[in-house]
Amino acid sequence: MGVSRNQMITLIDVDLDVFFEAEKEKFHHRLRRFYHQEQLEKIDIGSKLVLYGAGRIGQKVYNTLQKTDYCRLIEWVDSNWATKKEGNPTISNPDNLTTIEYDFILIAIKAPSAIYEVHRRLSGMGVPRNKLITLMDVDLDVLYEAEKEKFHSRLCRYYRPEHLEKVGIGSKFILYGAGRIGQKVYNLLQKATYCRVVEWVDMDWMSKKDQIPIVSDPNVIARTAYDFILIAIKATDIVGEVLLWLGEIGVPKEKVILLENHFA
């Protein structure tokens, strides 16, 4: 009895489904020692993966990925890529992620502090959290909450808690004010891994620059990418001038965070 074209296609489809399911099971079996099953379920056949981490665990995950045809590893990166590259030329700079297309980043790092630094870096690069897959014994929510709590405890003496709540992990700050309070806030921000200062400006930047070389002209605000501007100035009249000028250059009010005393 002959087999019609439609029947042949149906038979091929069934075989492909079986093949795909077998490859998926092999993929899950090899990686579930490192990652949660529910995270692996997000990865479809043919997905393009980036592996972040080239330490002991990273090398194990890399070797495992090389044995699977279920997905493709398109980049292997590490924060210490320059030194790691000497032993393995395939390891590259995480900054390359801004120029390639991928579906998920597998993070093969176990130390909580190192994982947090990686997440902060990737967040600053605009990588969505749902593209990140971490090792099974890492709880990102716990890491985030701990760092957030440290950030709040350091800055709540200067800024209102409800305004600090707006600040997410990896947020980029411009600090406005390099006087006594500004220097204190800057030092606190330097200790915080939750966010980062991209510019420190002051209206008297030329005179301040002799003492603090990193202080810049406020005009850099117009050409800097940032999430919030922290005003670290206590004098109400000067704050008023700063707010008026920020409004003139188009800074949205919701991006400006004032000291606590300006709400009294």
User: What pLDDT was estimated at residue 49?
Assistant: 97
| Domains of the chain, residue spans | 5-138, 153-263
Q: Which fold has domain 153-263?
A: Rossmann fold (3.40.50)
- Predicted TM-score (pTM) of the model is 0.62
In which residue are the tokens 């002051």 written? 202
pLDDT, one tens digit per residue, over 120-129 is 888 888 898 8
- Which tokens hold the place of 40? 């692996």
Burial of residue 202 (number of CB atoms within 10 Å: 0-12, 13-18, 19+): buried
Q: How far apart are CA 71 and CA 24, in angstroms?
A: 9
Q: How far apart are CA 47 and CA 217, in angstroms?
A: 46
Handedness of CA 85, 88, 89, 92 (dihedral sign): negative
**Residues recorded for the chain:** 264
Same fold, 5-138 and 153-263: yes
Q: How many C-beta neighbours within 10 Å does residue 8 have?
A: 10
Which residue in 96, 101, 103 sits closest to 71, CA to CA?
Answer: 103
Which residue in 136, 121, 130, 131 sits closest to 169, CA to CA?
Answer: 121
pLDDT, one tens digit per residue, over 21-64 is 888 899 999 999 999 898 899 999 999 999 999 999 999 999 99
Q: Which fold has domain 5-138?
A: Rossmann fold (3.40.50)
User: What pLDDT was estimated at residue 187?
Assistant: 93
User: What pLDDT was estimated at residue 1?
Assistant: 46
Phi, psi of 111 (to 5 degrees): -65, 120
**What does each of the 264 residues of the chain score in pLDDT, given as a tens digit?**
444 445 445 555 557 778 788 888 999 999 999 998 988 999 999 999 999 999 999 999 999 999 888 999 999 999 999 988 888 889 999 999 999 999 999 999 987 778 878 888 888 888 988 899 988 766 777 777 888 888 899 999 999 999 999 988 778 899 999 999 999 999 998 887 788 899 999 999 999 988 999 999 999 999 999 999 999 999 999 999 999 999 999 999 999 999 987 554
